[in-house]
A = this chain, B = another copy of it.
Amino acid sequence: MKAFLAAIEPTGQTCADCAVRQFSVCAALDTAEMQEFVHFGRHVQFAACETVFAEEELTTSFYSLLAGVMRLYKLLPDGRRQIVGFSLPGDFLGMSTSGRNNFSADAIGSVEVCRFAKAAFLRFAEDRPHLLHRINELAVRELSQARDHMVLLGRRSAEEKVATFLINWRDRLARQAEPSATLSLPMSRQDIADYLGLTIETVSRTFTKLERDGVIEIIQGGIRLLDPARAEALTAA
């Protein structure tokens, strides 16, 4: 599978050869600023299933995901879980108004992040409108995705949910690497269920149904989209 999903390949230590630069917050920085900026980002690795930060914890860092996939989720007191998103390389994490994280994040597979001290980062951004503008752009984009996800959670059937998830995942991967009919799904069925507001059994049954119908083929660690057009039709976009 792709290197960015498994975090196999070493990532450069300087911003200059950063693989995700043009997708990340840093895209807003010019060369001179980058010189300065490089000093407060530190690369950190996380092993599969390690928690990068937890809900309610004080936010002391921002993170830019370099390689790997993360799940972002919230828990109810009784243990019910809602995954509010999956992060891919280039995503920026840690913004909050309250000073505490409003969700938890952990690694799916191994992950590499660039970690910034929050205070230093904010001081740096303070008088750089283009950087603020970039941060805002990322926040507003996420907000738009969040609203799309609300529609999915509140108003779509199980089959529509699964089809929508597969199509969106394909589109996100296509932004990272070559578009392909073969989709790597590094997250578990339980993760998918918690993302879609379903149970693991319903997700499994729906995958099986889509396979029976010739829409997908279930393969090790992912699926193959046999009939993308039909899958898109099933999303009731």
Contact = CB atoms under 8 A, between A and B. Distances in A.
Interface of A: 74, 76-78, 80-82, 84, 95-98, 102-103, 126-129, 132-133, 135-137, 139-144, 146-151, 153-156, 194, 196-197, 236-237
A140 B62 CA distance: 14
Contacts of A150: 74, 82, 84, 146, 149-150, 153
Nearest to A96: B140
Contacts of A74: 147-148, 150-151
Contact of A140 (B95, B133, B149): B95
20 contacts: A76-B151, A76-B155, A82-B150, A82-B151, A84-B147, A102-B144, A102-B147, A126-B129, A126-B133, A129-B132, A132-B136, A135-B136, A139-B143, A142-B143, A146-B147, A146-B150, A149-B150, A150-B150, A154-B194, A155-B197
B97 A137 contact: yes
A95 to B, nearest CB: 5
Contacts of A128: 129
Contact of A196 (B80, B97, B154): B154
When all copies of this chain in the complex are counted, the total is 2
A156 B142 CA distance: 23
Contacts of A236: 76-78
Nearest to A236: B76
Contacts of A237: 76-77
A144 to B, nearest CB: 5
Contacts of A194: 154
A114 to B, nearest CB: 20
Contacts of A102: 144, 147-148
A197 to B, nearest CB: 3
Nearest 8 A/B pairs, CB to CB: A154-B197, A153-B153, A146-B146, A132-B132, A82-B151, A139-B139, A153-B154, A80-B155
A90 B193 CA distance: 36
A4 B237 CA distance: 37
A137 B143 CA distance: 13
A197 B153 contact: yes
Contacts of A132: 129, 132-133, 136
A33 to B, nearest CB: 15
